[in-house]
Amino acid sequence: MNIKARLTLMFTMLVGSIMALFCLSIYFFYDQYREKQFYSFLNERGQTIAQLVEASNGISKADIQKIEKENKTILLNEEITIYDGSDSVIFISGKEKYVLNAPMLADARSGKEIHTKEHKREMIVIRHILQDHRKPWVIVVIADDYLGMNQLDRLRQILVIGWLLSLVLVGVAGWQFSNDAIKPVADIIDQVNNISAGNLHEKVKVGREKDELALLAETFNQMLTRLEIAFVAQKNFVSHASHELRTPLALIMSEAELSLMKERTPADYQDALQGIWAEAKEMNELVNRLLELARTDENAFKVSFSRIRVDEVLWQAKTTIQHKNPDNQVHIHYAKIPDDEEQLKRYADESLLRTAFVNLMDNACKYSANNTVNVFLEIKNNQIRIYFKDTGIGISPEELPYIFDTFYRSAKTISKPGYGIGLALTKRIINMQGATIDVESVAGTGTTFIVRFPPF
């Protein structure tokens, strides 16, 4: 069953149940009203007959019935029985007397009005106070409420027929209601079916602006935006990676082709192999960087977080840099060592964090004239701050917004070896550790990268 049919059925059942309850309530309360009115009328009939019997000593039943017929007040199947103070029957209007037991007689004389049914007919037992203050009489009145029951039956028919007709109308209205409710969903489905990898920029539109479907469409549009960004990033990644790998591969192929064109001396072969090895080394370095960059994609792998000392990771990064290139000089400065060593600890992935620090130190040494980087570690307001300062050519304000983009390289740094991956990789790693990285630079005076670790 689709949503439209289910909504229609639920709407019809809900409204139908409410209407059925309403009809039952009308029927019940009308029946209570009819019964109350009829018992009141029976009370009046009994008191009237008792007053006639009391006022007319020796009057016969036939005389009383004659008077009642002339007044047209006799009820259908009416039977009236009157007991005097000694519990003797003194008047019977029906064919036979109705016998009351002693408790009922006592209850009636005490003022209790007894309502009950006798063979589907209403019966009332009441007392009659005599004018001469003798012991009260007890009156039993039985009659058939033919008119009231006919009216009740007619009301029941009207309510049942009206409920069934209303149920049909509610079903039609529910179908229209479900159509109106589902239409935005159908529109969303049609729009989504038209979106593919080639037009992820298309967005889902909903006419209503403030309901849950609009929120659903907005959420879906946000997902499309993320997918579009991912597709563009993947496309750019493949494009840049292909471009970067094409150059060393072309050089390797050219070197090998030249070496195979004719017979050469062992020294020439060695030179060719040296060139091929150098290009393969560069290509291997590029592939490793690309793999590291791919590993830092969101949810691409599990990060092993633990409590580590940030200053120790800095010293490890310094050792790695100087082992890789002894000409590089890394100077780590502590402004103030805290008494509590716990202030130097953070939850982070030690291996990735070391990679980020190595990239920042290597980048600073590469662009400094004396291959030197000064690293300043300080703790302020329980926040760890690390400054990586170089004395290079600096970065122009126009280029600052792009330095963390993958494969971006400044026009001033084209002569330096590199792939434009290091800073992009570093930013991703730093953000994964819950830290932030900023850059301050003045052209001609150097650049400072600032890494901030928030408090625990």
pLDDT tens column, 34-58: 999 999 988 988 888 888 888 776 5
Q: Between residues 82 and 231, which one has the greater pLDDT?
A: 82
> What separation in angstroms does the CA of 376 have from each of 233, 321, 387, 389?
34, 17, 5, 8
- The C-alpha atoms of residue 91 and residue 139 are separated, in whole angstroms, by 9
Specify whether the backbone of 50 is left (phi greater than 0), alpha (psi in -120 to 50) or beta. Answer: alpha
- Write down the pLDDT at residue 161: 94
Q: What is the mean pLDDT of residues 353-378?
A: 88
Q: Given a cut of 90, is residue 155 above it in pLDDT?
A: yes
- Write down the pLDDT at residue 300: 46
- Write down the pLDDT at residue 299: 47
Q: Given a cut of 70, is residue 407 above it in pLDDT?
A: no
**Cβ(164)–Cβ(109) below 8 Å:** no
Share of the chain above pLDDT 90, in %: 15
Q: Which residues contact 57 (CB under 8 A, 6 or more apart)?
A: none
Under the banding of pLDDT at 50, 70 and 90, the label for residue 165 is very high
pLDDT tens column, 5-21: 888 888 889 999 999 99
Which CATH number is 3-152's, of 3.40.50.300, 3.30.450.20, 3.10.105.10, 3.40.640.10?
3.30.450.20
> What does the domain layout of the chain look like in residue ranges?
3-152, 212-295, 306-453
Q: What is the mean pLDDT of residues 85-109?
A: 83
CATH class of 306-453: alpha beta
- Architecture category of domain 212-295 in CATH: Orthogonal Bundle (1.10)
Average pLDDT, whole number, for the chain? 80
Under the banding of pLDDT at 50, 70 and 90, the label for residue 162 is very high
Look up residue 200 and give its amino acid.
L
pLDDT tens column, 416-445: 665 567 788 888 888 888 899 999 888 778
- Write down the pLDDT at residue 295: 61
Kindly report the pTM of this predicted structure: 0.47
CATH topology agreement for domains 3-152 and 306-453: no
Q: Which residues contact 212 (CB under 8 A, 6 or more apart)?
A: none
The 3-class SS string of the chain reads CCHHHHHHHHHHHHHHHHHHHHHHHHHHHHHHHHHHHHHHHHHHHHHHHHHHHHHCCCCCHHHHHHHHHHHCCCCEEEEEEEECCCCCEEEECCCCCCCCCHHHHHHHHCCCCEEEEECCEEEEEEEECCCCCCCCEEEEEEEECHHHHHHHHHHHHHHHHHHHHHHHHHHHHHHHHHHHHHHHHHHHHHHHHCCCHHHCCCCCCCCCCCCHHHHHHHHHHHHHHHHHHHHHHHHHHHHHHHHHHHHHHHHHHHHHHHHHCCCCCHHHHHHHHHHHHHHHHHHHHHHHHHHHHHHCCCCCCCCCCEEEEHHHHHHHHHHHHHHHCCCCEEEEEECCCCCCHHHHEEEECHHHHHHHHHHHHHHHHHHCCCCEEEEEEEEECCEEEEEEECCCCCCCCCCHHHCCCCCCCCHHHCCCCCCCCHHHHHHHHHHHCCCEEEEEEECCCEEEEEEEECCC
**Cβ(212)–Cβ(383) below 8 Å:** no
- Write down the pLDDT at residue 30: 93
